[in-house]
Amino acid sequence: MRGGRAEKVRAMSLLSPPGPLVPADWLAEHLGRPGLVVLDASVGAYRGIRRPIPGSRTFDIDGALSDPADPLPHTMPGPEQFERELRALGVDDDSVVVAYDNAGIYSSARAWWMLRAMGFDRAAVLDGGLPVWEAAGLPLTEAGAEQEPVEPGTFTARPRAGLLVDRRAVDAALADPATTVLDARSRDRYTGRVEEPRPGLRRGHIPGAVNLPYLDLQVDGRMRPADELKARFAAVADGRERLVVSCGSGVTACVLALGAELAGYRDLAVYDGSWSEWGRPGDLPVTQGPDPE
């Protein structure tokens, strides 16, 4: 084993994230440590609007880390593609991964959930994302600097069934008295008061789904404390322990999955197609208006 790799392995054995959410000061303290991989998981208009964290690498949910054969946006790629892309990012099986995004906590939770769905548990989300990091005066890469090449990693995809589910699983969840289906979109989108941002989709929500906007889980860009998260989930879950979460395209649903994990829920699934699939013109039922009293 080469000296650099041996040093990396020794350092990794001493490093682990404190949980699924890490504060900016923890990341700043460990930045540059062997075995720590920082991923910029920004999507859409949020890509490239801020200078990145030094050493971070692009986790491209809009591109290479979505299934190119699926017409729906942000669909989870197959294990071979995912493994190839994570290795290209320098991720090893024993790495510690911290994902962030330029919006705060928006698409970084998607990266975290995708890693979990592929059997990798040494991942976390940067609390508050790049806005909090920048506001704290922490280091940023020089404008225009290119990402440095990295040594390919040894990441192995080990898919876990049931963490990302399809519409048939959502149908089953709606009929299951032990499961709550949650919708992470804004109240106006959930009720159908506004048009969907993606052209051609119907307005409204899945009948039986309950609204919990992902921004309700945050204060000033950071996730709420665990006790507040528990209260918010308890108010909509009605005592059910299994949660299936949905959103527009499977991205902010993962913020609900993160919040639910922090609140103590363990039986969680993300509807990968979300409203981009369910809301298409067709025979799937759609409801408009608020939840029934």
Q: Which residues are catalytic?
A: 247
Cα–Cα distance, 222 to 209 (Å, whole number): 25
- CA torsion sign, 8 to 13 to 19 to 22? negative
Q: How many CB atoms lie within 10 A of CB 276?
A: 21
Strand partners, 57: 39
* Residue 83 phi, psi (nearest 5): -60, -45
To which H or E segment does residue 6 belong? helix 3-13
Distance CA 21, CA 222 (A): 10
Pair type for strands 210-211 and 218-219: unpaired
> Quick one: 273 exposed, middle or buried, by C-beta within 10 A (0-12, 13-18, 19+)?
buried
Q: What is the DSSP string of 157-196?
A: ----TTSEE-HHHHHHHHT-TTEEEEE-S-HHHHHTSS--
Structure tokens at 254: 């993962």
The residue to which tokens 């303290």 are assigned? 29
Query: Whose structure tokens read 């991205």?
Result: 251
